[in-house]
Chains A and B, each alone.
Chain A
Amino acid sequence: GAVVSQHPSWVICKSGTSVKIECRSLDFQATTMFWYRQFPKQSLMLMATSNEGSKATYEQGVEKDKFLINHASLTLSTLTVTSAHPEDSSFYICSVKGRSSYNEQFFGPGTRLTVL
């Protein structure tokens, strides 16, 4: 499977600041990247889907102006949490999918965001 990295692995920030999280596909051309958030003891909630070179498609209830997603290349996508608030504290995980016919997603290790 694909090797996916995320940076940073954890971040603490003050309320009102913006935080950028990077998702890199190290050995795989990711035509599609997904961003999820996960609260403790809960499942993954899809936030948005992005295809390389296109605007991200956001799930219902996810503010596109608050969670900015950029999928600039086949190996890099970024999620920027703008004007973060304590309720944005969560575990953010990206996943990647390629052009193959198999419907597999490969996940990154996640980024834990804590907003004070």
Chain B
Amino acid sequence: QKEVEQDPGPLSVPEGAIVSLNCTYSNSAFQYFMWYRQYSRKGPELLMYTYSSGNKEDGRFTAQVDKSSKYISLFIRDSQPSDSATYLCAMSANTGNQFYFGTGTSLTVIP
């Protein structure tokens, strides 16, 4: 079983839609949860960073962590064509520990 599971998609939505991206994990020691956005042929860009359970909102983006279910989500409201990218979840147990990445979900927002 992989440490982190993420549906690779591809996911295609119309502009303005709400997008839900998800990851599940198996290691209960994970405490730090990140979402990265990666455009084609570019390095990942940190979008959201969450410690432990709960919600975090930043503009159109909301990250949710449910440690009891070992499930994290990223919601994008009012999606824009510029949101078209691959979204990677990542997590780690402690500071300085290895990051475990999901395989990424490819998102296309159609104008």
Residues of A within 8 A of B (CB): 1, 4, 6, 32, 34, 41-44, 46, 49, 91, 93, 95, 97, 101-110, 112
Contacts and interface: CB of A to CB of B under 8 A. Distances in A.
B43 A108 contact: yes
Q: Name the residue in B88, B98, B99 with the highest tally of chain A Cβ atoms < 10 Å from its Cβ.
A: B99
Given A43-B104, A103-B94, A104-B49, A110 B99 contact: no
B8 A93 contact: no
Name the 4 nearest CB pairs between A and B, nearest first.
A107-B43, A103-B95, A43-B103, A103-B32
Interface size of B as a range: 20 to 34
Interface of B: 6, 8, 32, 34, 36, 41-46, 49, 51, 88, 90, 92, 94-99, 101-104, 106
Given A41-B8, A42-B103, A104-B34, A32 B96 contact: yes
